[in-house]
Amino acid sequence: MNKFLIKIFPIIFIHIVWYMLSFQVGVNLIPRPDMVWGRLCNLLLNGTILLHIGFSLLRIVVAIGLALVIGVPLGILSGANKKIDGWFSPIVYLLYPIPKIAFLPVFIVLFGLGDISKIMLLFTVLVFQLVLAARDGMKQIPIEYHRVVNVLKLSKKDKLIKLYLPSVLPSLFNSLRIGIGISLAVLFFCENYATTYGIGYFVMNNWMMVDYVGMFAGILALALLAFGLISYIDLLENKYCKWLTFEKKYVV
């Protein structure tokens, strides 16, 4: 019961503050939560917003998949080989701090105004974080573990499956949680260019139509999308990093 109250309290607190702001500013500018939830339910039932959610979800899932396929192997190689790390890390350090939204005009020129340019922009947000997470996870492996796998004469495949991947998974999950938050912010921005589908387009279109209830319903849908993605990552972490769950439970 206490765990349930701890989880539900932030939601209650947000709604209380939301109601207070609504009454203070006025429902014309900040609609009440019940008005927004009601509109969102109607939009979900008639399927209007599901198409926008589907397009946004597709873009970010494809970008995450590409970033994982490319970023994780590069990070593992960089962490396992000092020469590769010495050559590759300066490139990452140079490109990683640049605000990725600055690449949007470049990707529009290269890939056009469609989904590919948006996916590539999200890819650049995620891939550098995953490269660094995998590399740092590799460097944190105790030297004793490397000695054990060498004594056991494990193949490269077994080293990857039994040592490298389990060692980098916690860092990867943490990076994904952070990256998804940044990616959704970038996605919101880029979905306002040459598209008619996506949560970003839906929110800004309702704003321009002075439909603030619809606008807040879109923002709420975006928040629920982020909550669903991050919760799914938590589930995967609990499944594939069970030793972390054990440590959290028994280590004070």
pLDDT digits (tens, 9 = 90+) for 22-80: 999 988 899 999 999 999 999 999 988 999 999 999 999 999 999 999 999 999 999 98
Distance between CA 34 and CA 43 in Å, rounded? 14
Residues 157-173: what's their mean pLDDT? 88
Distance between CA 20 and CA 30 in Å, rounded? 10
Residues 75-87: what's their mean pLDDT? 89
Nearest alpha carbon to residue 85 among 127, 125, 124, 134: 134
Written as six digits, the tokens of 34 are: 């019940």
Q: How confident is the model over 169-181, as pLDDT tens digits? A: 999 999 999 999 9
- The answer to whether the beta carbons of residues 28 and 212 sit under 8 Å apart is yes
Angle at 29 between CA 27 and CA 35, to 5 degrees: 45
3-state SS string over 193-241?
Answer: CCCCCCHHHHHHHHHHCCCHHHHHHHHHHHHHHHHHHHHHHHHHHHHHC
Listing DSSP states for 83-108 in one string gives HHHHHHHHHHHHHTTS-GGGGHHHHH
Q: Is the pLDDT of residue 211 over 70?
A: yes
Helix axes 48-80, 82-95, angle to 10 degrees: 140
Residue type, 26: G
Q: Is the pLDDT of residue 88 over 90?
A: no
Q: Is the pLDDT of residue 252 over 50?
A: no
pLDDT at 133: 93
Distance between CA 145 and CA 158 in Å, rounded? 13
DSSP class of 198: S
pLDDT at 196: 84
